[in-house]
Structure 1
Amino acid sequence: MSEAGRRWLSDDVAGLVTMHGKEAVIGPVLAEGAGISLFRVPDVDTDAFGTFSREVERPGTALDAARAKIRAGFAASPATRIMVASEGAFGPHPAIPLLPFGDELVLLVDRETGFELAGRHAGPETNFAHWRARDVETALDFARRCGFPEHGVIVLGVRGEAPAPDVFCEKALEDEAALAAAAAEAIALTGAAFLETDMRSHRNPTRQESIRRAAQDLVRRLHSPCPACTRPGFDRIRRIPGLPCADCGTPTEVTTAWVLGCEGCGLEETRRIAGEPWADPGACPSCNP
């Protein structure tokens, strides 16, 4: 990290608020890329801020949850100056509803300087999936397709067509025998078993990779100082579409420039994308309506 950027961080040691082994994923990235040593803050129940299995609903956004975890981390470790937390969200792709989509955030806060910065990774690289099963063999087939047992699967009860964790919820499933027993119990209690990939990081290697990439994005942003105030995180905040069609010149939705901005001083700078000055006619609303 540049000396200008380093003055925004009051220490080179940071706490990580996690119950699910994220220090093994985030720690090496921050150490190598930013010179920050990471330790796990003990005695913080991160499930209190929301669980993927729905026993505890997450209030607010992923950023809200990450900030809440960091506040809890500072309360549990008062001598720590820098705190890191991670939060993920999963659901259908915003443009292709049948495709799953994951959005990971890794947040760093320095309470001495007030500095806050987040790295993100979003995309379809997730194994997020769920299924309702009315027999054990169907439940086992779903689990195998999800990569179980390397990738965890949780079993919930069902109320109507919706998962009912208050009736039945089992996460500690290490082999097919345990999963079959859990599915059988859920089916006996509620008529069906709702199975879902376990999105907790220590039970989901696919998600671990997304968290690692979000941590890499945080490091990248730590090395991107504002040209005016030197605050790290000078980065893209919005795109400018309008690259003209190569055939007719009509503006398209293809990006022609990005606006970079600073969260500290508010500086904005527009940078055109280098390369082809024309858009493919296939993206043109006139040539390809």
Structure 2
Amino acid sequence: MGEQHIIHRGQWEGQSLPNSFESFKLYKTSLEGDVMLLNDGKTLAVAHPGDFTATDKSFEAMSPTDFGKLKVKKGEQQGGAAPFFTEYLAGCYDRGISATFEIKGSTPEMTAKAARRTVETIKEMQTEGSFKVQGKEDSKFLEEIGIHSFSPDAIVEARRTLAETGLSLRIGFTWLSSYEHAKNNSIAAPALRYYEQGKNWEQAGIKAAKELGCNFVFFVEPNKMTAALVQAAHVAGLELYMYIRPNENTPELRNALLQLKVDKLLY
């Protein structure tokens, strides 16, 4: 598939379970997973609450012990386990797969805590030698790890923790599809400070990502993408990522976006 393609939540056609061990067993490409903080304030899980008929808040109230007992209740992977963040990242490293993680949470404060803990956990794994082979660290793998969120609080905290730990990871800001969507989302609503009424919505996303000190901006509406918008992101020093929904995902659309010089596609 190439380095421009990221598999969203590690799920592909005919595969029943996203955010799973199955992901890095099947693919030799870039993967993306959703990260949430469990109730001990230290342990991170790679899981999407909706896949377990749960909510962000109920996942955050879950203990690591209880999360470790979670089993998939449907599909081909029935009975399979959902991974902890450390397990998932180690699996990606062992297979030479680059990884990107979306920071999730029930409130802006929880996304910030999850972002901090994500960076801290990667640093702890580095200190323990988790990214070394025959005593030599694969610095490229670490530098290609991406963290993104539509919560500006998460981005600010991730960058603060990177400065404290000395790690160099890729940080991205996800800009939601519309003003109304962001306004009605408590996690994303703080980002509205970057938008001026009457101005171009997508250009405001570029402004937000740049002011937040990100490496890339993430958009979610392929039909709004133009060469001018991609160029504006590049002029701002940002890469531009695009999410393609399953019902929109066709070779024709992917090729059209790459022709516009979109840097990475998530689908």
- TM class, shorter-length: under 0.3
Higher strand residue share? 1
Larger Rg: 1
Given the two structures, how large is their TM-score scaled by the length of structure 2?
0.24
Q: Which has the higher helix share?
A: 2
The normalised TM-score by structure 1 is 0.23
